[in-house]
Amino acid sequence: MKLSEKLLKALVAQVNMEFASGYLYRSMSHDMKNLALNGYAKWLDKQYEEERTHALKLIGYIEDRDGVVDFTDIAGVKKHYSNPLDVAKDSLAHEEAVSASIRSIFKLAREEGDLETEVFLQWYLTEQVEEEVNARDNVAGFEKAKDCDGLLYMFDAHLADR
């Protein structure tokens, strides 16, 4: 069964959003490496890999439904970070935006009666709960460690264990 044009367009936009998310996380990782926060850099690199996996899973679904993915440009990341708390806050805001996008596609699938896409997107909805929890935990950890180099070092080491 083919996807509707409207749903296909929304899913393709999500593919590109997932790849852009990976690009953002890779850029953040680079900045954290430059601050010698190698644990957080490793955590962010894993986020990069997860976002790539999310995009590939979407592509597979679109292809299974006889859709074609148009890969759009990914804007460059022009912001550099000199503070891990800023990275954590921006990461949380970004994950909230991704969650909103997925919820919007889910609602569209429901409106169109596309049960298969609803079921497929359920995994993404659940995954986004985890993504937002992790991002909020990072904000809390860096807020607690912001005035103490020892706590920052310990939290960074904790993030490396992901």
- Annotated binding-site residue? 54: yes
- Annotated binding-site residue? 51: yes
- Specify the DSSP class assigned to residue 2: P
Chain centroid to CA 20: how far?
Answer: 9
**Residue from 12, 13, 41 nearest 29 by CA:** 41
**Residue from 144, 147, 135, 126 nearest 40 by CA:** 135
Cα–Cα distance for residue pair 30/16, rounded to 1 Å: 21
- Annotated binding-site residue? 18: yes
Cα–Cα distance for residue pair 22/25, rounded to 1 Å: 5
| Inter-CA distances, 86 with 40, 62, 106, 144, Å | 13, 35, 30, 13
**Residue from 105, 84, 146 nearest 18 by CA:** 105
- Annotated binding-site residue? 128: yes
- Detail the residues annotated as belonging to a binding site for Fe cation: 18, 51, 54, 95, 128
Q: Indicate the annotated binding residues.
A: 18, 51, 54, 95, 128
